[in-house]
Chain A
Amino acid sequence: MNKEFMSGNHSFGEAAIRAGCKHYFGYPITPQNELGEYMSEHLPKAGGVFLQSESETAAINMVEGASAVGARVMTSSSSPGISLKQEGISYLAGLELPAVIVNVMRGGPGLGDISAAQGDYFQATRGGGHGDYRTPVYAPASVQEIADLTYKAFDTADKYRTPVMVLSDGLIGQMKEPVVFPKKIEKLPEKEWALRGMGSGPSRLMASFHIDPAVIERHNWKLFRKYQEIEKNETMYETYMTDDADIIAIAYGCTARIAKGAIKRVRKDGIKAGLIRPITLWPFPSQIIKDTASKIKKYIVFEMSTGQMLDDVLLAVEGRIKVQFHGRPGGAIPTPAEFARIIYREYQLESKS
């Protein structure tokens, strides 16, 4: 396989095309414009359709239409645009329609800034739109992972008939790195459930609205069981230098890269620090965090927010050990030196106690 040197945003596009995505609907917003631009050039060549929609709202509803007839389909945006897509994502969940939604996060709230941030964790993992649903969320930490997880996101979406989010940020989106792409899928299996016109069979229906509350309740329990399956089968994480660690950082996406840099530094001074990196944010890797808690002194949660994933860590730890938080919100990017200082400080506090 050839190694290519590519930006994160372009890699989303190439990985999607290789995964058999034939349709992309989206609206420009920085810092993810290169993704739509890539699709506009390469998707038609791959026999697909690129359409610049009039809004993110329109885009996600075009996704509904294309998904309903069985196509592999993608939309992408950055934070403010993802807010506009939430109603549509809720419909996709209710209608059980697969789709891949990319969020290249920027600073917020409001228009915020166009720098990388991680302030959309709650929105991504708590459903975001209305109703009792979940969205699987992949959080790549490198351009290579953008390729691998985008490719995988299409499989997960189809396997469980659910919208899937790939949650990245302006840093990884804009960054160029060597990347090896997965093989191009030439032919996908037909989706039995898709709308296709009656042909010779009975008419088909896709609806999330039911007048009878008993029907909606049954539907919600069905979704719930599906989410349980996803939790059981699809949780992903990476551990780094955790075997002998006294103190473990928990971070995802680009923040995990920065934390790794910090851990390398403090390890030189003999500080036994490690990292747990959630790769799926929902389902969250609670078990490993819970199991590891009994073996170490302290967790430090690093985020580019004022503490969102922190909630999930606290739920997993259940008060067993101390959890320290360090975050930089709104688009300010921390450095490995800054994280290293926090690790030194927490380590010293622990040694004293």
Chain B
Amino acid sequence: MKLKNPWPIYFKKDVETHYCPGCGHGIVHRLISEAVEELDVGKRTICVNPAGCAVIAYNYLNVDCIESAHGRGTAVATGLKRARPDLFVISYQGDGDLAAIGTAETIHSANRGECFTAVLINNAVYGMTGGQMAPTTLLSQKTTTTPTGRTSGNDGYPLHITDVVATFKGVAYAERVAVNGPAAVQRAKKALKNAFQAQIDGLGYSIIEVLSPCPVNWKMSPIEAWKWIDDVLSKEFPLGVLADRRPKAV
């Protein structure tokens, strides 16, 4: 396929990545850059960067960015969007950020139908702090704080936050995708564009959950990590559209 632009306008060029080899964050950044360009909203985009591995997403995304305290991205996004409804707002968050410390903000901004898009990177661990248990960590998955594997008795079960918010009437679009391979990446981009379009159309909250490899903390090679998403992670978190309240085309 021939790209319209050899390099997306909203993706910074000639910068060194700080992400680990095989990390999913960089892929999602690139998809976001392409999507805002194709939907022609890049010049009015503000991306909220989380505390997490993506804290310096602004090194790669060539759009206005603001930092948020850990977990508060959707509250910051609410403030941005309420003050400037004409802007296009993305809250980019990890699973610890969005589904543990920031659960209340996630639930309530979704329930209010705040008109921005949350992008949730589900890598089943806390990446930035060195691989501790996340709310999305699988049962029996080993992390630095579940050294013998997560148990339901001690830690409860993997939290399906996107499935939860998908039930809210304020949510226009929710989908879970992955970025482990070219076909998955194409589907992920389509999902992002659907969510972004819902925001552009003023339909309410949208969220895209991305199953994203963290080979370093999974103690796998990048190839093994891709396979683990297919074989294990996506069995707990099945891919697909979780909510679509966009008006049907007639």
Contact = CB atoms under 8 A, between A and B. Distances in A.
A158 B64 CA distance: 21
Interface of B: 42-46, 48-49, 51, 55-56, 58, 61-69, 72, 75-84, 87-88, 104-105, 107-108
Contacts of A87: 69
A280 to B, nearest CB: 27
Contacts of A55: 104
B242 to A, nearest CB: 22
Contacts of B83: 22-23, 49, 65-66, 69-71, 73
Nearest to B46: A195
A199 B105 CA distance: 29
Contacts of A61: 68-69, 72, 75-76, 79, 105
A259 B184 CA distance: 72
A204 B51 CA distance: 18
Contact of A207 (B44, B46, B58, B77): B58
A57 B78 CA distance: 13
Given A61-B72, A61-B105, A66 B79 contact: yes
9 contacts: A55-B104, A57-B104, A61-B68, A67-B79, A69-B84, A70-B83, A71-B83, A198-B42, A207-B65
Nearest to A62: B79
Contacts of B88: 197
A279 interface: no
B78 A207 contact: no
Given A54-B108, A69-B83, 7 more contacts: A22-B83, A61-B75, A65-B77, A196-B87, A197-B64, A203-B65, A205-B64
A208 interface: yes
B105 A68 contact: no
Contact of B58 (A53, A69, A73, A205): A205
A153 interface: no
Contacts of B79: 23, 25, 61-68, 73
Nearest to B63: A203
A25 B87 CA distance: 19
A91 interface: yes
Contact of B55 (A25, A195, A203, A209): A209
